[in-house]
Structure 1
Amino acid sequence: MNTAKKKLNIWLVLALAILALFLIFVVYPIGLILYKSILMEDGTISFSYFTKFFSKKFYWSTLVNSFKVTIASTLVSAVLGLIMAYLLRSIKIKGSKYLNILIVISYLSPPFIGAYAWVQLLGRNGVITRILNSVFNAKLGGIYGFAGIVLVFSLQSFPLVYMYVSGALKNLDNSLNEAAESLGCSTVQRVWKVIVPLITPTLLASSLLVFMRVFSDFGTPMLIGEGYKTFPVLLYSQFMGEVSTDAHYAAALCVIVIVITLVLFFLQKYIGNRLTYSMSALKPMEPQKVTGIRNVLAHGFVYLVVLAAILPQLTVITTSFLETRGASYTGQFTLQNYKNIIMPKNISTITNTYLFGLAAIILVVILGVLISYLTVRKRSFLTSILDTLTMFPYIIPGSVLGISFLYAFNKKPLLLSGTAIIVIISLCIRRMPYTIRSSTAIIGQISPSVEEAAISLGSTEVKTFVKITVPMMMAGVLSGAIMSWITLISELSSSIILYTSKTQTLTVAIYTEVIRSNFGNAAAYSTVLTITSVLSLLLFFKVSGSEDISV
């Protein structure tokens, strides 16, 4: 009896401890934002900050702009991702293995790096702009504004849709496709009437992730938006701007973002549940060799899209070896940019990125495995609450989380602002939901009878978890951890709000160098980040034993 109580207490204590962490670092900061959004300077409660936003066009027009940009980018990303996934799954494309890697690499870097690179190519003084102006004797205005923002977001976000849809197509029974073909359906009809309906839940889920990512990103519209101001730019300027900042008004803006993302999340869940199909790939889709014009068009389209997606990374790497004078390049080869970033005052930026990322990943893996085990194997009212709470960071944009952390932890007894700890915790919280979901899927594939057999042979429940369950999960957990690591080191939205001169990371350094027009240093930092991501991706392939990434 005492042993049973001891076992029960261990899991109960773990569940309570993890619940307490999420209450402190998720519920409390978000609750504080909600409170500050209706708290006036004189201490009274009022909704005047929300009235201020919706009554002035200067403010609410930024929300309209954000929806325009986000909807357009999401639609383009969804179409591109669907077409690319279908072509690479159904047709034998030469070099498809390497094309897949390039597509994933194009997704790994933050969108604002793509914006910076496209400015170098299609800005008013960009390489391509100068060529076009010279050839056609024109005066092109560059990539700035609505069209430029959509271009950058679409090329940077379609790989996410591609990875999700590619995974769904892998599980699709191709006999359905063949049956439609035998009934006289054309390729377009088969895709539209058979394949798209079957993968609609996946398409919706990936599109929602794109929508939320684009909607909350401020780096890209800040760099190339110019007069086209979006909601995240307004939020950032209200909280971090050099003039006319208003913390309470910024809190109200955060609440508006949270409400919008919550509505989108539950809408996607509802639609996804209504349209879910159960598929068993008895005959999986295999790439077929095609000939003639269809083969040429397929290869041409895939290669062109991949080139456009990877072009920012190629531009960044190339320009990192070019000499700069102010904001322009002289065209001379140099290593000075790399010498600049490894100077004693700058090298900490690189080491911070690795140290903070590793610390966050260790926490993410430990907590992710424990939470997934508790919610799957130890189901109770308490673990159900824990499971719900752990999904909050999945919905909340990084900038909102960063602002809420500064509100919550800028005074004793939890004075964390300005420290490395607050950056690590924010990174951990941001990536936790993804790791929990992947770990939960892995545990679901492990039969409870394996653990029951070990316990029946005299092993304790905790020992069984440590010696049997965790090792069986490890390959999948490590693969997930590597992918989480790649996204962690690319995080900007929360880090830009929480960093100090001592806790600056690579993404923050790239952004600040671009804003200062130190393009050479920005390119060198970006190259370090890109190479780190590529090496991590290759490690993922090695650990997972897979040649592609599909979600």
Structure 2
Amino acid sequence: MNNLAAESDLRQLQSSEQRDPIFYWIIALIGAFVLLPSFSLDYGVFESTSQEFKEAMGWSGMNISWLWFTMPLVLLIRPFQAQDKYAKKRHQFDISYAGFCVLFTLLSSWYTEQGLGYATIVLFITLGCVITLALARLEYLGGDIFVIGALVSIVSLISIFIIYPSIAIFVPMFQDDMGNFVMWQFVEILGRSQIIQIILNSIMLGTSVGVVATIFGLVFAIYTTRIAKRSAFIARIFSILPIVTPPFVVGLGVTLMLGRSGYITELMVDWFGLQHTNWLYGFTGIWMAQVLAFSPMSFMILDGAMKSLSPSLEEASYTLRANRYQTFFQIVMPLLKPALANSFLIIFVQSLADFSNPLVLGGSFDVLATQIYFYIAGAQLDYASASTLGAVLLIFSLAIFVIQYIWIGKRSYVTISGKSYRGDVQPLPTGLKYGVSGLLYFWMAFNILLYGSIVFGSFTVNWGVDYSLTLDNYINLFGMGFSEGAWPSLLTTMTYAGVAAPLTALFGLLIAYIVVRQQFHGKKVIEFATMLCFAVPGTVAGVSYILAFNDAPVYLTGTAVIVIISMVMRNIPVGIRAGIAGLGQLDKSLDEASLSLRANSFKTITHILIPLLRPAILSTLIYSFVRAMTTVSAIIFLVTPETRVATSYILNRVEDGEYGIAIAYGSVLIFVMLAIILIFDALVGEARVSRSKANNQD
């Protein structure tokens, strides 16, 4: 009897282990419907009244949510045990029916204007798990549940937070103030003389900034790679400055130097008798500030390209009796064409998307980014015009991104082969060397004056009027208690950035793993869609998030969640590129060895790949954190008084004319982020040194 009982218990245990997990997900779905609100809460979980909470529960009345949660119950009509790969029709039905339930829930929510609540999160997770299990049983991607689940999650997040907002920005173009469909409204908007002038202004500004910033970037790259190669700190400074400098600070610094009350302007008036004018406010001021802000970005692109050139080509040129000028302009420069074009295109897009410098220095010179802001946040609330200009800006950026992705990507400029001989770097022409050095020294002197003015200006009473030193600006910011001044915005920003940075790194690594290590149809589409985050200007991203998530089916506007999501999605391409670069250096045999020892993909990533990719992950973390701290154009439309971040606080001070406080806050952020970068850089350096020592000991 005891043996029979033991065998019975064993059979029951085996049977329970073979039960289809979908049953458990359906049970969780029913529990979510009972315990969580099916509809969105206008004031969140903690600030809603008990009556509002009850009305948001799906079971409180007959409504559409009953269909949302009862339709998946059809999946209960199935064998009690999990089915193998031969039950193809069963699994195909699960995939198609779960997808239908997702679409029905979203479309019915939009049609009935009922926002989705917390219970629907469990609903979508359940349906996603159904799709994942069915694909695994069909042995898609080798039947690896973790990989399939990651792919389903990635596709879902890309669809919701990248593709859907990008489409949503086009909708108001075809709607009037009453919400009626107007087919050719955007034509009327684009036909306005003011709009045409704004578009031309933006194109002219972007082109001129792209050309000049690329020239300066090339000058810096030539200097650090061919003239003073030991001056690595220069490259480090130029790569850090644009990252840690908050928005508005460069524009304010230029104003302190060259504005009507700037000290250089005063010197020019006193020494040369020039008159006070507003020459800085307009195209000239924006152009100058953007060149200062974006040239280091060009340098980072061209510095890598210069270092990758093979000196043997220059040696071959000299052996054919070409002089140094001919070698540089006919050998080196043509090989830099992809990097130069890449630099120009990226700077052009950054100039179009720049919001802070035109706001400070624009004067009467309007550009797309600021005009979109005024249409949304100004006295004239005009979503149709904002949507139209946002669509124009998006089309410009996407067109340039596609050109870069297709045209440049298909050309080969390989100069380093598998042969060991590379040759020695040849000296530059003397005239070119002096010209490059002179431009660099001028740039360094100007930047020293610029950042010196920023720091000194934060300690003055009133720049241009009273240069007496004072701590009042810092006292107003940080001396009024943690609930007053800049403390709330600083702590909020650091909290949001602290949440967004690890999400960016992990999500980017996951996408990189799927793209690099897995083979499936549509891989290029996923890679291209994720890189769209970089191509979409910040202003357009902010407007698109308002239009997409300010109405059913998903209400997120005004919450901290949408700010964090915006930070993650804006920086996700960096995490992806870092992950792809890191995985490219790790042989796939490491994955295969782990899998051959019966470790699944999740264990392989957590125990093998992540420890080896620690420097890349730390670099992504710090970059994402700093960029989240300094972002403005993407989140300026998303923050509220409760979710205000540091950059929006600085913007408010600029709009109120409190430049001293704005500069002081910017100075604090610069030093804080520099300290964070140096700390993380030391951690990454120690990790690399320890790994190198371990390898040497082996």
Give the structure-1-normalised TM-score: 0.92
Distance 1:328 1:517 in 2: 14
Alignment of 1:450-461 (within 5 A): 450-461=590-601
Deviations 1:233-281 (A, max 9, x none): 2211112112x22112211221111111111111222331353312327
SS in 2 for 1:323: strand
- Structure 1 match to 2:386: 250
Deviations 1:369-389 (A, max 9, x none): 111111111221254443232
Deviations 1:476-534 (A, max 9, x none): 12123222322222211012111112222222222221221112211111111211232
CA contact (8 A) 1:426 1:494 kept: yes
- Structure 1 match to 2:446: 308
Distance 1:144 1:12 in 2: 54
- Structure 2 match to 1:128: 264
SS in 2 for 1:345: coil
Q: What one-letter code is carried by the residue in structure 1 that aligns with 2:232?
A: K
Higher relative contact order (CA 8 A, sep 6+): 1
Deviations 1:412-469 (A, max 9, x none): 5532212221111101110011211221121122111111112223323321121001
CA displacement at 1:136 relative to structure 2: 0.2
- Structure 1 match to 2:362: 225
SS in 2 for 1:498: coil
In structure 2, which of residues 274, 286, 293 is the aligned counterpart of residue 156 of structure 1? Answer: 293
SS in 2 for 1:500: coil
**Closer, same or farther: CA 110–206 of 1 in aligned 2, 3 Å:** farther
CA contact (8 A) 1:32 1:404 kept: yes
CA displacement at 1:124 relative to structure 2: 1.0
Alignment of 1:48-447 (within 5 A): 48-92=184-228, 96-108=231-243, 109-110=245-246, 112-141=248-277, 142-242=279-379, 244-280=380-416, 298-324=436-462, 328=464, 330-342=466-478, 343=480, 344-346=483-485, 347-381=487-521, 383-411=523-551, 414-447=554-587
CA contact (8 A) 2:311 2:425 kept: no
CA contact (8 A) 1:91 1:288 kept: no
In structure 1, which of residues 480, 484, 504 is the aligned counterpart of residue 620 of structure 2? Answer: 480
Deviates most, 119-128 or 304-313: 304-313
SS in 2 for 1:489: helix
Report the aligned-residue RMSD.
Answer: 2.6
Distance 1:500 1:287 in 2: 55
Distance 1:163 1:61 in 2: 33
**Closer, same or farther: CA 284–110 of 1 in aligned 2, 3 Å:** farther
- Structure 1 match to 2:27: none
CA contact (8 A) 1:156 1:309 kept: no
CA contact (8 A) 1:67 1:215 kept: yes
In structure 2, which of residues 614, 631, 642 is the aligned counterpart of residue 502 of structure 1? Answer: 642
Deviates most, 70-79 or 445-454: 445-454
In structure 2, which of residues 154, 157, 182 is the aligned counterpart of residue 18 of structure 1? Answer: 154
CA displacement at 1:40 relative to structure 2: 3.0
- Structure 2 match to 1:549: none
**Closer, same or farther: CA 424–295 of 1 in aligned 2, 3 Å:** same
- Structure 1 match to 2:163: 27
Distance 2:185 2:449 in 1: 43
Deviations 1:30-60 (A, max 9, x none): 2222222222345443343321233221111
Q: What one-letter code is carried by the residue in structure 2 that aligns with 1:316?
A: I
Distance 1:435 1:130 in 2: 46
Deviates most, 97-106 or 214-223: 97-106
Deviations 1:206-243 (A, max 9, x none): 2222111111112212211212111222211112112x
CA displacement at 1:360 relative to structure 2: 0.8
Higher gyration radius (CA): 2
Distance 1:79 1:333 in 2: 39
* Structure 2 unaligned spans of 5+: 1-83, 86-132, 687-698
CA contact (8 A) 1:132 1:138 kept: yes
* Structure 1 unaligned spans of 5+: 547-551
CA contact (8 A) 1:168 1:202 kept: yes
Identical-pair percentage: 27
- Structure 1 match to 2:678: 538
- Structure 1 match to 2:101: none
Distance 2:252 2:424 in 1: 38
**Closer, same or farther: CA 225–285 of 1 in aligned 2, 3 Å:** farther
Q: What one-letter code is carried by the residue in structure 2 that aligns with 1:309?
A: N
Q: What one-letter code is carried by the residue in structure 2 that aligns with 1:303?
A: Y
